[in-house]
Amino acid sequence: MSASPLPDGPRRYHHGNLKAALVEAGLALLEERGLANLSLREIAARVGVSHTAPKNHFGSLKGLLTAIAAEGFRRHAAALEAGLRPEDGPVERLHAAADGYVRFARDHPALFRLMFSADLCNHEDPDLSAAASASYGVLARLAERLAPGKGGGGGQTRMETLLWSIVHGYAMLANEGQLATGPEGNPVHGILDLFRHWPDLGGSGNRRNRVAVTVLS
């Protein structure tokens, strides 16, 4: 990529990967100014191209937002996997992934909101669909390891949905200011450590564990 800065103005790009540059500019502006203030014209100005250039590549603002959301899911998946260590057990890995999930949401609230917006993004888009599936797949694989072979007739899907609902719901509540926070702005009543005490759904366990298996299966 080559770029030549303009005096007192945006950088004008001359390269063959303008789509990626527009997505990166959109991500940066999203972080700086929030979702409500994002526009094709502003993104084009940040890159240093004509205000019609984004439409030529993405068709509309929704098309560009869809591409931004797809990149968000790729980064989200990386955040979930960042703390996973091969030597850890299923519960420790679940805790690490859940921590990555919530941290990503807290660090990138506007992007996180965009990623799950049915109105602002086209979730039928193949690139977005693949990126979202890869991100979800991290939790799905962890769910399978927690209770391998348990609960026929949709039991695995139920476990995935349970885990996703817990971490996603918690992240959303935290981002919307619905949880009490400490001096640094982090939720006081954190729940992620509870994953360390997740019932051993894969083993014999006590009566409480067996009840949990019954409910999930």
Q: Are residues 181 and 210 in the same domain?
A: yes
Q: Are residues 80 and 23 in the same domain?
A: no
Q: Are residues 211 and 154 in the same domain?
A: yes
CA atoms within 13 A on the CB side of 84: 17
Predicted local confidence at residue 51, as pLDDT: 87
Q: Are residues 120 and 14 in the same domain?
A: no
pTM: predicted TM-score of the whole model, two decimal places: 0.79
Decide which of 35, 59, 83 is a domain's last residue: 59
**Closest Cα to residue 191, out of 113, 116, 94, 104?**
94
Q: What is the CATH number of the domain that holds 42?
A: 1.10.10.60
Q: Are residues 18 and 79 in the same domain?
A: no
Q: Are residues 47 and 88 in the same domain?
A: no
Q: Which residues of the chain register pLDDT less than 50? A: 1-10, 200-217
Q: Are residues 148 and 50 in the same domain?
A: no
Q: Are residues 49 and 130 in the same domain?
A: no
CA-to-CA dists, residue 104 to 4, 21, 62, 112, 198, angstroms: 33, 22, 23, 8, 23
pLDDT one-digit tens code per residue, 117-174: 999 999 999 999 999 999 999 988 888 777 655 555 567 788 888 889 989 999 999 8
Which residues form the domain of 7?
1-59
DSSP 10: P
Q: Are residues 95 and 156 in the same domain?
A: yes
Predicted local confidence at residue 1, as pLDDT: 40
Element containing residue 13 per DSSP (H, E): strand 11-14
Predicted local confidence at residue 185, as pLDDT: 65
Contact 185, 103 (CB under 8 A): no
Q: What is the CATH number of the domain that holds 191?
A: 1.10.357.10
How far is it, in rounded angstroms, from Cα 143 to Cα 200? 12
Q: Are residues 52 and 92 in the same domain?
A: no
